Structure 1
Amino acid sequence: MLKRLPGFFFALCAVAFLTLYTKTRNLPQPPIYRTPTNPRSSVLELLSTNFSELTSQISDSAIERSNGSCAEVNNIVFVKTHKTGSTTLASIIERFGYLRNLSFVLNPHSHILTSQLFHRKMAIKSPPPLDFKDGDAVTFNILTSHARYSRKEISQVIRPGAKYITIIRDPVANLESSFGYFQLAEKLGLTIYRRPFNMFLRRLDEFSQQTFFRRPYIRNGQMYDLGLNAKQQTNISYVLLKIEEFSKEFNLVLIQEYYDESLILLKNLLCWDFDDILYIPKGVRSKRLRYNYDKSFDQNIRQWSLADSILYDYFNKTLWRKIHALGDQFYRDLEIFRRKQKEVFRTCVDVGVIDTSDRREEKFVLVANASHFCQLLRLEDTHYWKILGQRQMIAALRRMNFTLNFK
């Protein structure tokens, strides 16, 4: 558990808050509406309108569930992997935590916590928990930001009884997605070729020896996020041992190809409502960064990223064993959820309108005068990082009896 002197702790929070606020106060706000809103409205102002009403409804719902067969889970570790649909899942969990005043481990300077293995000392820089009191061990409810997995270190800063989850994807699709989203064709000088991804696949050994940003994600990138370095990834005995450990340490490994099915299992695990797992997809890659390639490379990719392939095959089978064990009720729940998802798109999304301000992504746009819940669904994890961080920092400064006057 983390402990430190209150004076140092709060002084650090104050500095972090001022850094974050200075950095983010002039950033453009998310394009939530198709029609423009007041340009001076902040994300916090936008979300504060119906917050009390929403949290009241949530509290009533949670009480009903706790009187049943399970209690709503509020302590969660989500190990965020790259190019697996993890940004959408992070925003689902962050929305849940935001509406329940839960506390997150955050980097005050970036929505990415770290590109290194997580260490408990990284939480020292986080805005403190909302319910922190002098002398308390510093522990949080939720971790969703990018950080490579270390169970021993993460467990020191997350409250007891947390559920651990992650999400993985077929290694072939994961590599193509990484190649496109990280714009490796440009970085590696492959744009001169008619089929850049094909050329990349022919020269995998060559590129794996080079040094460039995101290189760990061209081979066994998901195992890398789960804590294994390059040498460990090629030791298959060690890989199998780690997968056995993961099967005990993770309460659920979601599968990107079966996103909705995975979310139903998540709902059951965390004792959440259907509304808690509704989503508007995030990080949808631009069509210009999607690559056709010779499918005869598929087996080569699976052999190239063998650790990821073994990981995926194991937990894909595990997912379906869980589903089959639930029987017909699972499919009834899945049908209800998909109806609700269709309603989200009918009432929230301006179909046919796409925001392409980020050249890597195609973002959904909300209808004019979208509901507060639609606005929450649309927010990305970068927006939640900002509002959650500000909330925790403001709470810390108030405990120090600071008077804040924002203009």
Structure 2
Amino acid sequence: MQPILQAPQDMTTIIKNPRTQTPPVVFLKTHKTGSSTVQNLLFRMGERDRATFAFPHHSYQFSYPEKFRAKFVDELPDDSSQYDLLCSNMRLDVEQLKQVMPENAVYITILREPLRTFESVFSYYTSTVPSALSLFLESPDAFWDPKEPGNCLGRNPMSFDLGIDSQQWNTTWRTDLSLLEETFQLVMIAEHFDESLILLGSLLDLNMEELAYVRLNTRSLQDVTHLDDDTKDQISAWNTLDVLLYDFFLQIFLEKVEKYGLERLNSEVALLRATTNRIRRKCVARSGVYPEELEDLVRPWQTDTVTILGYQIQKNLTKPEQAFCTRLVLPELQYHAHLYFQQYGRDMRASSKHSPPRTVCVHPDMS
């Protein structure tokens, strides 16, 4: 079977001088935080650099919601090669990651304000809850059982992704946070996304064109729930670990901003936005496009509960421009499958290609 995109040769004008000094990268892709947009950026970087990806076996996730294990990684055709990039969905286990990735790997993740994170998680992964979000929050214990393996995103989803055991949190939280701080060179903050990209670019030596993006995996506005003050308080009370986690890393992020230099950062953010807007005008004909209007290649995967919007690229582009612009808007599942084919010379299993694995992280009555 042929890859879904043309081979890298069609990007020759884009990669005249590919970078060779980018360090290996581990990106912990958290749920509903803007992580798909960051992953796309890393996919593009890796493809340009001809990086070797650590991919799951014929799938899009590392056996989520199990914690990551080295054995989940598909072996490379050349046993002597090393992995350069790991950015598929997983639940964090640092020691297991160290068995796969080089010692000099840079660890990155992204967090989002917990109220909006939980609202988004709820809308994606709860299709048959017998109540609206506000009613669910009045008695969430009636739906959420921590002993059930399918409940991983039902409470403190970001903490869960980061491998934290919520049942032991009261006694281990200081140690957990310290270990996470030691592990991650950068924890991006979704509410300061462009600023986070500048820090990411500094860390990985990326230029403004490489940091340009469109927001992926966005919902239709009609699927976004308005949060009144009472609902916000209930979400905060239900997700206390995520609130603590976010506040902790927000403070670290602000310290990094101060160290980087606020004036310098603001100047580079302005340049990034100008570059991004220019590239978007060049590439994107329409944004916020409903799935039925999109061709298969650029149609995001749809859930049973929300509508995921996508992009149409401009017509009359040159071949290299079309290659670049397609990758800019390419949904994560299609891009993942394309890179997997490039690396292994074989397609992912047919059942994954058109029916991506659901994140089984809700109460059975909620799925």
Report if the CA contact (8 A) 1:103-1:140 is conserved: yes
Within a 5 Å distance, the mapping from 1:7-406 to structure 2 comes to 43-45=4-6, 48=8, 50-57=10-17, 59=18, 62=19, 72-115=21-64, 116-123=66-73, 126-128=74-76, 132-133=78-79, 136=80, 139-182=82-125, 184=126, 186-190=127-131, 196-209=132-145, 215-232=151-168, 235-327=169-261, 328-351=263-286, 354-357=289-292, 358=302, 360-370=307-317, 371=321, 372-394=323-345
How many Å apart are 1:320 and its aligned residue? Answer: 1.2
How many Å apart are 1:53 and its aligned residue? Answer: 2.5
Report if the CA contact (8 A) 1:197-1:293 is conserved: no
How many Å apart are 1:294 and its aligned residue? Answer: 2.7
1:292 aligned partner, one-letter code: H
Report what 1:403 is aligned to: none
* Unaligned runs of at least 5 residues, structure 2: 293-301, 347-367
The DSSP-based 3-state class of the residue aligned with 2:188 is strand
How many Å apart are 1:307 and its aligned residue? Answer: 1.2
CA distance, structure 1, for counterparts of residue 52 and residue 265 of structure 2: 31
1:43 aligned partner, one-letter code: I
CA distance, structure 1, for counterparts of residue 23 and residue 49 of structure 2: 9
Moved over 6 A (4+): 210-213
1:250-298 Cα offsets, whole Å, 9 max, x none, are: 0000011111111111001111111121111110012232112432232
Between structure 1 and structure 2, the one with the greater Rg is 1
CA distance, structure 1, for counterparts of residue 215 and residue 92 of structure 2: 24
Report if the CA contact (8 A) 2:287-2:310 is conserved: no
CA distance, structure 2, for counterparts of residue 317 and residue 385 of structure 1: 33
The DSSP-based 3-state class of the residue aligned with 1:218 is coil
How many Å apart are 1:205 and its aligned residue? Answer: 1.8
1:304-343 Cα offsets, whole Å, 9 max, x none, are: 2111111100111111111122221111111100101111
Report if the CA contact (8 A) 2:23-2:104 is conserved: no
1:3-25 Cα offsets, whole Å, 9 max, x none, are: xxxxxxxxxxxxxxxxxx5xxx6
Percent identity for Structure 1 against Structure 2: 26
2:158 aligned partner, one-letter code: Q
1:18-58 Cα offsets, whole Å, 9 max, x none, are: xxx5xxx6xxxxxxxxxxxxxxxx5232x54532232224x
CA distance, structure 2, for counterparts of residue 211 and residue 344 of structure 1: 48
* Structure-2 change in CA distance of 1:352 and 1:161 (3 Å): closer
Report what 1:67 is aligned to: none
How many Å apart are 1:162 and its aligned residue? Answer: 0.7
* Structure-2 change in CA distance of 1:353 and 1:271 (3 Å): closer
Once superposed, what is the RMSD of the aligned Cα atoms? 2.2
Report if the CA contact (8 A) 1:198-1:294 is conserved: no
CA distance, structure 1, for counterparts of residue 234 and residue 288 of structure 2: 38
CA distance, structure 2, for counterparts of residue 48 and residue 308 of structure 1: 40
Report if the CA contact (8 A) 2:220-2:309 is conserved: yes
How many Å apart are 1:247 and its aligned residue? Answer: 0.8
The DSSP-based 3-state class of the residue aligned with 2:334 is helix
The DSSP-based 3-state class of the residue aligned with 1:263 is helix
* Structure-2 change in CA distance of 1:312 and 1:376 (3 Å): same
Q: What is the TM-score when the length of structure 1 is the normalising length?
A: 0.75
* Structure-2 change in CA distance of 1:303 and 1:189 (3 Å): closer
Report if the CA contact (8 A) 2:91-2:160 is conserved: yes
How many Å apart are 1:152 and its aligned residue? Answer: 0.5
Report if the CA contact (8 A) 1:79-1:147 is conserved: yes
